[in-house]
A and B are shown apart, each in its own frame.
Chain A
């Protein structure tokens, strides 16, 4: 069963968001990493890039598959987790911690309201099965 921390918000694309002031830290969920299998490569945006909510900002690749990652919120990328270039497997080992991908300075915090709570995401996963 996938781990779904209560303190995070979730997208239906299986990204998680941790909010700190006007900054959102984004990664992929435990469910997403389990579905992908061994992560071997993470392609990330550049710091300073701007994205609208639901834009693809990068991709996660396993041996077999490529999965795009979508930003759940609009804003500017202020930091990327460059450690993942050398150790992409951290996305599998610690998806909600060291496996984080980008930090975005949000343009519109109201977009957070469209995201799912942990309970809602759990329900969503059940409905997907």
Chain B
């Protein structure tokens, strides 16, 4: 069954041993779920902890005197606001304001940045970034093969990870990071994630992935009733959807701008990045569509791509739709015209020919208690 052309993370054999059901995700052979199942994985991450192999993500080093101006030229957020040891969420945009990719920008130092981009877009991202080097005094290095990435997420994540490191994890603020050791392995320890929970993402040498993964499962009492669970891509998707986080190719794409996707907060329009003028014009002229969250008010599940109706007219489409295991509702995100985007607005969604009621609700659907 193994497709020899698929890319594999260093944990591929480990996923198979754990009974992971492997699928082709953007050219990568990845576990979509493990024997516990998506709902159990999702709930365990919300209530205790979940472990995710995200080694398929892409990494790029940007070093040199112009590192900050260069990345500020390419991305929507304001890199000059970052301090050493801080990261932020941002987007690479085209001239027309649509999205090349979303990414995390890490600042190690004034001349040393680290970009983490999506798996399926990393080649395109690299070409885009490298093609804009111009006269910027920067050294660009594609580093995806230099790192594994493991995310430990959930309320127990800090306690579990703390047993494996001398770094005082509680001192790392949200969206900050430090370098340290995890089980003796040199790592970037980043307090970030894609689940809506507290947690960490660990970047380390790929050859140590199995060791780190195994130690984290062990420290998290994997196998016990309340122990950590390895989580597949399906749970990763439902967790991010409940938390209303965007997924490239769904809420954002090369046909959608960040403003439409309610990502105005990462667009610092005074920083003169590529696409800035288009976004300014869009902001001034008003949006034609905007992202909303909805929940189904009648039995049925909206799925990605389904058409959305209001007053008998087709008004938009679903970008992501799924059962929400923690909220126990069927939810989704959709693009609709701003005039009908208010909370409480009733919609109909075409579920394979059946018109099923839904209602617009505020996002995020889920917000953890702090």
Using CB atoms and an 8 Å cutoff, list the residues of chain A in contact with chain B: 37-38, 40-41, 43, 59, 61-64, 66, 85, 129
Contact = CB atoms under 8 A, between A and B. Distances in A.
B35 to A, nearest CB: 10
Interface string B218-234: 00000000000000001
The 7 closest A-B pairs by CB, nearest first: A63-B38, A40-B323, A64-B234, A38-B39, A38-B37, A61-B301, A63-B323
B39 A41 contact: no
A41 B323 CA distance: 9
Contacts of A41: 299-301, 323, 330
A63 B299 contact: no
A37 B38 contact: yes
Interface of B: 1, 32-33, 37-39, 42, 234, 237-238, 299-301, 303, 322-323, 325, 330, 352
Contacts of A38: 37-39
Given A62-B38, A63-B234, A63-B322, A37 B300 contact: no
A63 B352 contact: no
B38 A64 contact: yes
Given A37-B37, A43-B299, A63-B238, 6 more contacts: A37-B38, A41-B301, A59-B352, A63-B39, A63-B42, A63-B325
Contacts of B299: 41, 43, 85
Contacts of B325: 63
A43 B37 CA distance: 21
A41 B42 CA distance: 17
Contact of B32 (A43, A59, A64, A85): A64
Contacts of B301: 40-41, 61, 66
